[in-house]
């Protein structure tokens, strides 16, 4: 690979946008080229400086009000669901459309534990984003985070460092979901937080992966080796899925996990 080819691809490398094959090609070039090494360092330096500066704006409260006022008013009390609209929600088939009928779903499948627990996962995620709630043990070292859970939980959550794969381990936390203590392993993707909740399951069978979107958060849930996992974040569904896949792969490789 020439510098000219690498020139643009190192941005994709720094942004974690390359697949493993291309990434190693670009990395090999960077390793052998002082110019591109400096370029890559410069890109990372700026991205970090930008992230620290917090360049976002907060929408003024009057704008929020203007928009809410301009949308049709929500009925004060949710109308009872008609049987027809319930069936239609399911006929559409997708989880999102089923969730769309949130009120209806809550009534129809209120006994569904998965649904209730996911709502609690969302709350736990939101709580964790409040200042000072994110981590009980702050460390990027999996060998510090993992033992911290000992004695605090009836399970040993696998703590896997995915930094090299674009998801930085930043710590762990004890949380409560479904009135039980649950382990949360915290990762960062750019400025986004990913909470990975881990709890024991009664069965050892492998449940299929599912993706949900609740209140704008994506949730990827799966289970393996007697543990239930829920990864939740505001990153895109694609990226969260990538996180889940990388975690599962790493867990399979790292049997002691």
Partner 1 sequence: MPLNRSDEDAERNRRFRELALPYLDDVYTLARYLLRDPTDAEDAVQECYLRAFKHFHTYRGPAMKPWLFAILRNVCHTEFARRSSAKLKAIDDAPEAADKPPLWHESQETPEGAILRERDASAIRKLIDRLAEPFRETFVLREVNNLSYREIADSAGVPVGTVMSRLARARAMLRAAWLAEEESSE
Taking the least distance from each CB to partner 1, the nearer of 46 and 164 is: 46
Nearest distance from C-beta of residue 35 to partner 1, angstroms = 7
Number of residues that bind partner 1 (CB under 8 A): 65
Taking the least distance from each CB to partner 1, the nearer of 54 and 113 is: 54
By CB under 8 A, tell whether 83 contacts partner 1: no
Buried b (16+ CB within 10 A) or exposed e, 167-200: bbbbbbbebebeeeebbbbbbbbeeebbbbbbbe
Angstrom CA distances, 162 to 63, 92, 186, 201, 206, stand at 39, 37, 11, 24, 22
From 249, 212, 247, select the one nearest 233 (Cα to Cα). Answer: 212
Which of 3, 67, 107, 129 is the binder for partner 1 (CB under 8 A)? 67
Nearest distance from C-beta of residue 186 to partner 1, angstroms = 17
Taking the least distance from each CB to partner 1, the nearer of 72 and 132 is: 72
Nearest distance from C-beta of residue 14 to partner 1, angstroms = 9
Among 12-20, 115-123, 128-136, 157-165, which window interacts with partner 1 (CB under 8 A)?
12-20
Among 1-9, 194-202, 221-229, 247-255, which window interacts with partner 1 (CB under 8 A)?
1-9
- For residue 25, count CB atoms less than 10 angstroms from its CB and return exposed for 0-12, middle for 13-18, buried for 19 or more: middle
Which of 127, 188, 192, 207 is the binder for partner 1 (CB under 8 A)? 192
Q: Find out whether 244 and 231 touch, Cβ atoms under 8 Å.
A: yes
Angstrom CA distances, 90 to 81, 159, 171, 237, stand at 13, 37, 39, 22
Helix (H, G, I), strand (E, B) or coil at 176: strand
Calculated CA dihedral for residues 175, 216, 59, 48, nearest 10 degrees: 70
By CB under 8 A, tell whether 92 contacts partner 1: no
Nearest distance from C-beta of residue 127 to partner 1, angstroms = 16
Q: Find residue 212's DSSP bridge partners.
A: 219
Taking the least distance from each CB to partner 1, the nearer of 201 and 246 is: 246
Nearest distance from C-beta of residue 225 to partner 1, angstroms = 28
By CB under 8 A, tell whether 103 contacts partner 1: yes
Scanning residues 150 to 179, which ones bind partner 1 (CB under 8 A)? none
Q: Find out whether 18 and 9 touch, Cβ atoms under 8 Å.
A: yes
From 218, 221, 171, select the one nearest 198 (Cα to Cα). Answer: 221
Scanning residues 27 to 66, which ones bind partner 1 (CB under 8 A)? 34-35, 38-39, 41-43, 45-47, 49-60, 63-64, 66
132: left (phi > 0), else alpha (psi -120 to 50), else beta? left
**Footprint of partner 1 on this chain (CB under 8 A)?**
7-9, 11-12, 15, 17, 34-35, 38-39, 41-43, 45-47, 49-60, 63-64, 66-68, 70-75, 78-79, 81-82, 85, 96, 99-104, 190-192, 211, 213, 215-216, 218, 235-239
């Amino acid at each position: 690979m020439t510098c000219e080819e690498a020139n643009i691809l190192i941005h994709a490398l720094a942004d974690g946008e390359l697949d493993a094959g291309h990434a190693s090609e670009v990395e090999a070039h960077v390793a052998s080229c002082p110019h591109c090494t400096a370029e890559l360092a410069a890109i990372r330096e700026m991205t970090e400086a930008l992230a620290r500066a917090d360049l976002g704006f907060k929408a003024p409260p009057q704008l929020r009000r203007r928009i809410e006022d301009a949308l049709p008013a929500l009925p004060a009390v949710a109308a009872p669901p008609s049987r027809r609209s319930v069936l239609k929600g399911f006929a559409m088939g997708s989880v999102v459309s089923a969730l769309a009928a949130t009120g209806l779903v809550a009534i129809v499948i209120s006994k569904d534990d998965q649904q209730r627990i996911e709502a609690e996962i969302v709350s736990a995620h939101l709580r964790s984003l409040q200042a000072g709630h994110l981590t009980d043990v702050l460390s990027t070292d999996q060998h510090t985070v993992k033992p911290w859970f000992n004695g605090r939980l009836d399970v040993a959550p696998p703590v896997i460092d995915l930094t090299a794969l674009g998801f930085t381990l930043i710590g762990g936390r004890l949380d409560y979901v479904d009135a039980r203590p649950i382990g949360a392993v915290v990762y960062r993707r750019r400025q986004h937080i990913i909470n990975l909740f881990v709890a024991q399951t009664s069965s050892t069978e492998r449940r299929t992966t599912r993706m949900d979107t609740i209140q704008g958060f994506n949730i990827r849930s799966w289970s393996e080796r007697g543990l239930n996992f829920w990864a939740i974040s505001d990153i895109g569904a694609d990226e969260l899925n990538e996180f889940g896949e990388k975690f599962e792969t790493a867990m399979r490789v790292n049997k002691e996990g």
